[in-house]
Chain A
Amino acid sequence: MVDNAGTHLPIRTWRHSFLFLLGVSPGFFVLIIQQNTPENCMKFSIIKILTNDFPFKAHQVKSQKGNSIVFNLLKKKLRQKQAKSFQVEPTYPAYPVPLSQVEKAKVLGELLGHSNDIIFRRFNLGFSSTQVIAVFAEGLVDVNTQNESLFKPLMFYEQKEKNLDNARVYESLKENYISVGEIAEFDDLFDASHSVLSGDTVLLMEGIKKVLTINTRSLPQRSIEEPKRETIVRGPQEAFTELLRTNIALLRRRLKHPDLVFETRRGGTYTYTEVAIVYLRGLASPKIVEEVRRRMERIIHTDHVLESGMVEELIEDSPYSPFPQIEHTERPDKAVAQLLEGRVIILIDGTPFTLIVPTLFWQFIQTADDYYERMMGSFVRVLRLIAFFVALFLPSLYIALTTYHQEMIPFSILVSINVAREGVPFPAFVEALIMEGIFELLREAGIRIPAQIGQAVSIVGAIILGQAAIQAKLVSPAMVIIVAVTAISSFLIPAFNFAIALRILRFGVMILAATLGLFGILVAAMFLLTHLVSLRSFGIPYMAPLAPLNLRELKDVFLRLPKWVADQRPSILKPLDKIRQKSGLKPQPNKD
């Protein structure tokens, strides 16, 4: 390369300038072609250059007519789009409560579809002639409560004063006779029908334009059990259940603080599922809470909410990202810990899985165990982080090294790999693809089949596929080891939804490694890194506190430092109450 500086410098400089211009001019053609797309307003600037309007007034371009028209159009379009996506709340027809008893029963009966499990019980108030109708759904009501606190006092009702009108009787019933804690009044029969379907008893009374609903709910539920997905060695063994009330109680029991707020709303035009937004009022950032409220508006417009995953898809930030941006848990203790960091919990009736927002990347490789064991136990986190990289990159590394960069493998290892690969007909990439594919098949089979025949699958997987494939020289033992290590590593990731992302991405990285070698892996890594740092969960950077870096808060990322070190809450969540505990709690021997 060494030629003396400047031997034919002038010529080369001219040629470079020429090439430079040559290169630039097609580029501007590209620019001009490009501006035909409707979304830009480059056109106007180009025209301005051509019509000599440029550059004297170029600084005013923003305020000039041409551009402002384009902008206004764009804005208008955007607004229309937004308006389309956020329609007005679905309106239900109004059913005002009629005066006549017969009319009421008729309308309510129609609303409830004359279904056979809805019971209209007619009885007389005390020994008077005032007729009352109790409407309730069979099986959803607690019969004892109903009999003791509702029917008994009403049927043995004794009118103390004579000649009371129905309104006065109704008031006295409400205030003195119905011995149930939670009652409510509706003046619309549509609302009343919903409370009948939730297990309440609705009282209809002649001549009153209101209906009274009494909480007599006794919903079918299972008992509180151990968490199935998030098992831990040490710590509370209670899991959320399907019933929202129980879940709220589980949270309240752990967090006896007046600041704990449950904001309930209903979503799903058919399922009418109750959903609770839970946060600590004096702690969680109001901005985040407001954002959660705003996004939860969306569930009103869907027709059913059966699982928290359905809500998750409606409120997450980047729906096309392979990485989950909202964590879910079935552990009340974990939910409480997250509330105390300033996060918001979303409880959904009918599922034990609750959502935690905002979620950071690191939460997916952390478990409740890390905080319950002593600090030394949190070294597992480093292990999980390694497992993350192994699960994502190990098969690709094997492909890249054995295919392209054999010189990087130490000689002795290279020999044993090549001896093992002798007679295998496929290139490393195809071999890896086959084995990873088979493993994915086995894994999926293992999840779906009943436990009784689960053993059969593992026998088929381990003996027939693994052993026989090697003996038939279809795959090399080295590849089986690689796949097994990858599989174990991906099981190390505590969050299942996060591991799914790794499973998918692994194949992409393998293809890149097979085409570009180590460089391909690096391209994949850089792409993923760029994608990850660009993600946000409810406006909070996903990769915080690594990027943007906050050295002080890295103490709870790779390792968990002891509890007395963590005297502040994560600042990235902007909690109102920053201090977790006073500093200087470190245990020390008494000075005396």
Chain B
Amino acid sequence: MEKINTWQATALLTMSIIPTAILFPTASLAQVSGRDAWLAFLLAGLLGLLLTALIVGLNSFYPTFNLLQIGEAVMGRLLGKGFTLAYVFFFITLSAIVVREFSAFMVSSFMKFTPLEFLSLIMVALAMYAIYLGLEIISRVSEVVFISVLFSLLFFVLLAIPELDFRSVLPVLDSGILPVIHGSIIFFIWTGEIFFLSMIYPYLNRPGQAWIAGVIPVALVTFFLVAGAVITESYFGFQFTSRILFPLLTYVRIIGLADFWERIEALVILIWVAGMYIKISFFMFMAVVSIKQLFNLPHYHFLILPTGALVFILSIVMFENTVELFSFIRDDWSVFAPLFAFFFPLLFFLTDITKKIVGVKSDHL
């Protein structure tokens, strides 16, 4: 079995969260949590750390299993397969959403005259190639992309420092704690994605360091999003931020380099696309692996084409337009995601603990 090291897992998980996280939730959270958006990001980050602890704890009982296999071992075959089926749907839908997010963003801000379907098709095809080559290859690509994404993000955070106005985030908790909690639940869609750690756990060559691969991505994502929230609030104020589609992109747009190069956002978008490529490949990889797990297949290569086709079709038929995509993520997906990211693993964990206490032996596949 191919193995990846801790650094690769860190890069992979970070790249599976960051690309959409820096674009999509900023406006939604400004809308829901208002001035306290940064607090909501922070809270969601803490939730993500909690989830990391849960996942690492759960997986330390079953170091050679991924989440679905643990589910089947803990919950029994029948119920376990039911959970696996649910996760198959979850991963396929998630991949479709991300593909749609990608093409919607590209069309709305970069390539206005290109058909959305075409962009989705290219991305899905590219991702299928990466999946065909395997997780090891995806994680190696993510290493290279991770470095460039990280440096470009840091670069833009540093550029913002002179204009930062920390008074814009005051007063804290002006409208109570509830909007913050609401916002953090929305952003938990992203920090909750750290539960993918469980899906790559069997691939880690040093499972003892798995917590590093969980903590660092959550910390990085939270840091950049909190920074982003403070930046957008100092530049635009939260009310205006909530009305812009992609506030951080708008911030990048107003940056000019040396009074000479004005429109550098295209470069940012390119780096973002690279990140998106990793994200989509990884999500589709998990979808394929979960289907493989559902039917106990020996290998997954022949599943790539149908899954890719499925994701492509779904990404187009699921939403009519970008606004619907946004409200779906904000209103509906924020209910679904914690269920799969948090509550099912928690259920597995509690069941396992209970079984251990009662003394029932779990089936080891």
Q: Which residue in A6, A13, A71, A526 is a CB contact (below 8 Å) of B298?
A: A71
Contact A2 B243, beta carbon cutoff 8 Å: yes
Q: Which residue of A lies closest to B363 (CB)?
A: A59
From 277 to 323 in chain B, residues with beta carbon under 8 angstroms from any chain A beta carbon are 277, 295-298, 302-303, 305-307, 309-310, 313-314, 317-318, 322-323
Chain A 526-551 residues near chain B, CB threshold 8 A: 526-527, 529-530, 533-534, 541, 543, 546-549
Interface flags for A303-331 (1: CB within 8 Å of B; 0: not) read 00000000000000000000000000000
A197 to B126 alpha-carbon distance, docked (Å): 55
Q: Is the CB of A61 within 8 A of B140?
A: no
B77 touching A58 by the CB < 8 A rule?
Answer: yes
Given A1-B326, A45-B297: A523 and B261 interface contact (C-beta under 8 Å): no
- A40–B145 Cα distance when bound, in Å, is 34
Neighbouring A residues of B313 by C-beta, 8 Å: 23, 26-27
Given contacts A12-B328, A548-B8, contact A59 B296 (CB under 8 A): yes
Within 8 Å by CB of B310, from A24, A58, A530, lies: A24
Q: Which residues of A contact B245 (CB under 8 A)?
A: 1
A35-B302 contact in complex given A13-B332, A42-B295, A530-B137, C-beta closer than 8 Å: yes
B89 interface contact, C-beta 8 A: yes
Whole-angstrom CA separation of A521 from B303 in the bound complex = 29
C-beta contact mask, B333-365 vs A, less than 8 Å → 1, else 0? Answer: 000000000000000000000000000000101
CA distance in complex: A543, B326 (Å): 39
- In Å, the complex CA distance between A442 and B72 comes to 65
Identify which of residues 99-117 in chain B touch chain A, using a CB-to-CB cut-off of 8 Å.
Answer: 106, 110-111, 114
Stretch at the interface among B38-46, B59-67, B262-270: B262-270
Q: Tell me if B20 is interfacial: C-beta within 8 Å of chain A.
A: no
- A530 close to B130 (CB less than 8 A): yes
Q: Give residues of chain A (1-50) contacting chain B, Cβ–Cβ below 8 Å.
A: 1-3, 5-6, 9, 12-13, 16, 19-20, 22-24, 26-27, 30-31, 34-35, 37, 39-42, 45-46, 49
Q: Is residue A408 contacting chain B, with contact meaning CB distance below 8 A? A: yes
Q: Compute how far the CA of A529 lies from the CA of B122 in the bound complex, rounded to whole angstroms.
A: 16
User: Counting CB contacts under 8 A, is A282 at the interface?
Assistant: no
Q: Which of A23, A527, A530, A546 counts the most chain B CB atoms within 10 A?
A: A530
Closest to A22 in B: B317
Residue of A9, A58, A71, A534 near B296 (CB, 8 A) is A58
Bound CA span A405–B302, Å:
39
Q: Is B273 an interface residue (CB 8 A)?
A: yes
Contact with B along A463-493 (1 / 0, CB 8 A): 0000000000000000000000000000000
Judge whether B36 is part of the interface by a CB distance below 8 angstroms. no
**Total A-B Cβ pairs within 8 A:** 166
Residues of A within 8 A of B297 (CB): 40-42, 45
Query: With contacts A42-B295, A529-B144 known, is A549 near B270, CB below 8 A?
Result: no
Q: Does B260 belong to the interface (CB within 8 Å)? A: yes
A530 touches B332 (CB 8 A): no
Contact B331 A59 (CB under 8 A): no
A23→B310 contact, CB < 8 A: yes
| A56 at interface, CB cutoff 8 A | yes
A23-B318, A34-B306 known; A5-B331 Cβ under 8 A: yes
Partner of B263, one of A3, A408, A516: A408
B266 touches A408 (CB 8 A): yes
Contacts of A19 in B (CB 8 A): 317-318
* Distance to closest chain B CB from A542 (angstroms): 10
Residues from chain A with Cβ under 8 Å of B274 in the complex? 522, 525-526
Question: Is the pair B331, A410 in contact by a Cβ cutoff of 8 Å?
Answer: no
- For residue B3, give the distance in angstroms from its CB to the closest CB of chain A: 10
- Would you call A518 an interface residue if the criterion is a C-beta within 8 Å of the partner chain's C-beta atoms? yes
- A548 and B306 form a contact (CB under 8 A): no
A276 nearest CB across to chain B (Å):
34
CA distance A77 to B154 in the complex (A): 54
Task: Kindly identify which residue among A5, A518, A529 contacts B330, using a CB–CB cutoff of 8 Å.
Answer: A5
The verdict on B133 contacting chain A, using a C-beta distance below 8 Å, is: yes
Minimum CB–CB distance for B286 against chain A, Å = 16
Q: Which chain B residues (132-147) contact chain A, with CB distance < 8 Å?
A: 133-134, 137, 140-141, 143-145
Give the size range of B's interface with the partner. Answer: 35 or more
Q: Give the Cβ gap from B90 to chain A, nearest Cβ, in Å.
A: 11
Q: With an 8 A cutoff between CB atoms, is B242 at the interface?
A: yes
| Complex alpha-carbon distance, A385 and B15, angstroms | 25
Q: How far is the CA of A3 from the CA of B328 in the complex (A)?
A: 12
Per DSSP, chain A at the interface is helix
In angstroms, how far is the closest chain A Cβ from the Cβ of B133?
Answer: 5
A55 touches B106 (CB 8 A): no
Contact, CB under 8 Å: B5 / A518:
no
User: Which residue of A is nearest B309, CB measured?
Assistant: A30
**A549, B106: Cβ atoms under 8 Å?**
no
- Do B141 and A530 touch across chains, with their CB atoms under 8 A apart? yes
B residues less than 8 Å from A410 (CB atoms): 260-262
Bound CA–CA A35/B297 (angstroms):
12
B78 on the interface (CB 8 Å rule)? Answer: yes
A526-B274, A529-B141, A533-B140 given; A16·B318 CB < 8 A: yes
In the complex, which of the residues B93, B143, B324, B326 contacts A548, with contact meaning CB atoms closer than 8 Å? B143
Interface membership of B327, Cβ < 8 A: yes
Q: Which B residues are CB-close (under 8 A) to A546?
A: 143-144
Q: Count residues of chain A with CB under 8 A from any CB of chain B.
A: 61
When C-beta atoms are compared, the residue in chain A nearest to B123 turns out to be A523
A548 / chain B contacts, CB cutoff of 8 Å? 5, 8, 140, 143
Return A413 CB to nearest CB of chain B, in Å.
9
> Does A62 have its Cβ within 8 Å of any Cβ on chain B?
yes
Question: In the complex, A517 Cα to B113 Cα: how many Å?
Answer: 12
A98 to B363, CA, bound (A): 73
Question: B133 to A534, Cβ gap below 8 A?
Answer: yes
Are A23 and B317 closer than 8 Å at their CB atoms?
A: yes
Q: Is the CB of B140 within 8 A of A543?
A: yes
Chain B residues in 8 Å Cβ range of A426: none
In the assembled complex, which residues on chain A have CB atoms less than 8 Å from the CB atom of B72? 59
Binary interface profile of B, 5-31, with partner A (CB < 8 Å = 1, else 0)? 101100000000000000000000001
B81 at the interface (CB under 8 A from A): yes
Q: Which of B122, B144, B262, B328 contacts A523 (CB 8 A)?
A: B122
User: Across the interface, do A530 and B133 meet the contact criterion of CB distance under 8 Å?
Assistant: yes
CA distance A59 to B327 in the complex (A): 40
Give CA–CA (A405, B318) in the complex, Å.
Answer: 31
29 example contacts (A-B, Cβ-Cβ < 8 A) are as follows A1-B322, A1-B323, A2-B243, A3-B327, A12-B332, A16-B332, A20-B314, A27-B313, A30-B306, A34-B305, A39-B302, A41-B297, A45-B297, A55-B81, A58-B295, A59-B72, A61-B295, A407-B263, A408-B266, A410-B261, A410-B262, A519-B270, A525-B274, A526-B277, A527-B129, A533-B144, A534-B137, A546-B143, A548-B143
In the complex, given contacts A12-B328, A40-B302, what are 9 additional A-B residue pairs having Cβ atoms less than 8 angstroms apart? A20-B314, A41-B297, A67-B298, A405-B266, A408-B263, A516-B114, A517-B111, A518-B266, A530-B126
A residues with a Cβ closer than 8 A to B are 1-3, 5-6, 9, 12-13, 16, 19-20, 22-24, 26-27, 30-31, 34-35, 37, 39-42, 45-46, 49, 54-56, 58-59, 61-62, 67, 71, 405, 407-408, 410, 516-519, 521-523, 525-527, 529-530, 533-534, 541, 543, 546-549
The 6 closest A-B pairs by CB, nearest first: A27-B310, A533-B140, A547-B140, A45-B295, A23-B314, A55-B81
> Residues of B at under 8 Å CB distance from A?
5, 7-8, 31-32, 72, 77-78, 81, 89, 92-93, 96, 106, 110-111, 114, 119, 122, 126, 129-130, 133-134, 137, 140-141, 143-145, 242-243, 245, 260-264, 266, 269-270, 273-274, 277, 295-298, 302-303, 305-307, 309-310, 313-314, 317-318, 322-324, 326-328, 330-332, 363, 365
